[in-house]
Amino acid sequence: MFFGVGGGGGNAVEYMVRQNVSGVTFVATNTDAQALEHLSVPNKFQFGGAGLGVGGRPAQGRELAEQNEEEIRSLLSGYHMVFITAGMGGGTGTGAAPVIARIAKEMQLLTVAVVTTPFKFENSKRTKIAKEGIAELSQHVDSIITVPNEKLRQVYNNISIADAFKKQMLRSK
């Protein structure tokens, strides 16, 4: 299972769905209803009733995920392994990904996180939030892969992140 959390995680699983990756279950979750609505991911779940996002506040993303623990358990039920993907530095991915990872570990799933970190040009607060979120997430996973957004652009000669991700996926096949 690939579990995309927040805007960045949702975009990552959306990309895989559009590439017709088969044999895998994809889930996208977000606090932003509008962001979820635009995804073609077959399994979508919104945290929080308002659907307006959490405004970059990880504590709120964490709280909303905790309030939906039973739904998360239900989504993870029946699987042996989960890849959790999120962009770190915002509210939902940074706050909710560690909660989802903790639940997965409690269910004895092999739990791997693949996360991105902010670009250098983004503000230092976002970078600080990302570092704190990665530290928390690391406590609840078997393995974590951290990919700086900046490195993706360097590797692919300053092309867009979407195109860099596409090239990397094609090279992995």
What are the domain boundaries of the chain?
2-172
Residue 170 confidence (pLDDT) above 60: no
Does residue 98 sit in helix, strand or coil? Answer: helix
Q: What is the pLDDT of residues 73-87, one digit of tens each?
A: 999 999 999 999 999
| Residue 173, pLDDT above cutoff 70 | no
pLDDT for position 154: 73
Token couple for 173: 């096949």
pLDDT at residue 2 greater than cutoff 90 = yes
Q: What is the DSSP letter of 122?
A: S
What fold characterizes domain 2-172? Rossmann fold (3.40.50)
In terms of C-beta density within 10 A (0-12 exposed, 13-18 middle, 19 or more buried), how is residue 68 classed? buried
Residue predicted with more confidence, 161 or 4: 4
Instruction: Note the pLDDT of residue 172.
Output: 41
Confirm whether pTM is higher than 0.85.
yes
Structural contact between residues 151 and 76, judged by C-beta atoms closer than 8 angstroms? no
pLDDT in tens, 121-131: 888 999 999 99
Distance between CA 30 and CA 21 in Å, rounded? 22
Neighbours of 116 (CB within 10 A): 26
Q: How many CB atoms lie within 10 A of CB 32?
A: 23
How many residues make up the chain in this entry?
A: 173
Tell me the mean pLDDT in the region 11-22: 91
Question: What 3-state class would DSSP assign to 127?
Answer: helix
Residue 47 has pLDDT above 50, yes or no: yes
Tell me the two tokens of residue 33: 């209803």
Identify the weakest region by mean pLDDT among 6-10, 39-43, 98-102, 121-125: 121-125
Q: What percentage of the chain carries pLDDT values higher than 70?
A: 88
